[in-house]
Amino acid sequence: ALPISTATLSGNEAHHLLHVMRAKPGLQLMLFDGQGGQYEAELTHCGRSTVDLALGPKQDIEREHPFQITLAVALPKGDRQRWLIEKAVELGVSRLIPLQTARSTAGSEQASSKLERYIIEASKQCGRNRLMQLAAPLKLIDLLSQDESPIRILAHPGGSPLAEIEWNSTENRSLAIGPEGGFTDDEVTQAIEAGWKTVGLGSRILRLETA
């Protein structure tokens, strides 16, 4: 079929195609615009640091949930952080907020460019064509005062069973996960006062990225 339009990739994605994949003209690809659109594409020209593509028609393929999921999480470090981002992308989290709490460690200060790269890598792997949004780090107290999702859940050992939450199918939801040291009693009290429900995830303590 005749191409409808063209595109030129530069930066990381061009580098990956040229120097990691050793791509050559004729290669067929799927191109995501990160905003819900995707295109069948064919590589037409390899530049030194750019790649030209011929694109088929834009395909609107929805792979999102019918509601927004905000995940506020005290980020762990290193590989565990990467794993967390990957799973959040795969599970359809709409927006990830690095959460700063009383017992947070250095994770939330990670360079956001690195986190953005993890998001893109995970999206490519799982075919998600809409990028998970990465918010600026936020203090728990500010999350509690700003968040207006109809469903607001704070994971805390000993909280109500997950099955007791009424998950009205299309309501937006916000989920808060604490750091390795957990939320403090004060933080849990503040969250409850702000209308959050505390939820327990079983009788074992999970790594925060598992939770």
Binding ligand SAH (rule: CB under 6 A), the pick from 31, 157, 194, 197 is 157
Based on CB atoms, which residue is closest to ligand SAH, 60 or 185? 185
Applying CB under 6 A, which part among 34-42, 61-69, 135-143, 174-182 lies near ligand SAH?
Answer: 174-182
CA distances from 202 to 56, 74, 155, 156 (A): 48, 20, 11, 10
Instruction: Enumerate the β-bridge partners of residue 157.
Output: none
The verdict on 105 binding ligand SAH (CB under 6 A) reads no
Position among 47, 57, 150, 181 found at the interface with ligand SAH (CB under 6 A): 181
Question: With CB under 6 A as the contact rule, which of the stretches 1-9, 92-100, 140-148, 172-180 interacts with ligand SAH?
Answer: 172-180
Selected from 7, 134, 135, 211, the binder of ligand SAH by CB under 6 A is 211
Beta-bridged to residue 34, according to DSSP, are 130
Measured distance CA(159)–CA(153) in Å, rounded: 10
Segment 131-136 long-range contacts (CB within 8 Å, at least 24 positions apart)? 131/34, 131/35, 132/85, 132/88, 132/89, 132/93, 132/94, 132/95, 132/96, 133/94, 133/95, 133/96, 134/95, 134/96, 135/95, 135/96, 135/97, 135/98, 136/97, 136/98, 136/112
User: What does the alpha-carbon distance between residue 199 and residue 173 come to, in Å, rounded to a whole number?
Assistant: 13
Between 17 and 175, whose beta carbon lies closer to ligand SAH? Answer: 175
Question: What tokens does 161 get?
Answer: 């069973």
CB nearer ligand SAH, residue 98 or residue 123: 98
Which among 24-32, 49-57, 64-72, 197-205 is the span making contact with ligand SAH, rule CB under 6 A? Answer: 197-205
- Output the furthest CA–CA distance in the chain (Å, rounded): 63
Binding to ligand SAH by residue 102, rule CB under 6 A? no
Q: How far is the CB of 206 from ligand SAH (least distance, A)?
A: 4
Region from 2-10, 107-115, 117-125, 195-203 binding ligand SAH, contact rule CB under 6 A: 195-203
Token representation of residue 50? 């750019």
List contacts with ligand SAH (CB under 6 A).
155-157, 159, 177-178, 180-183, 200-202, 204-206, 208, 211
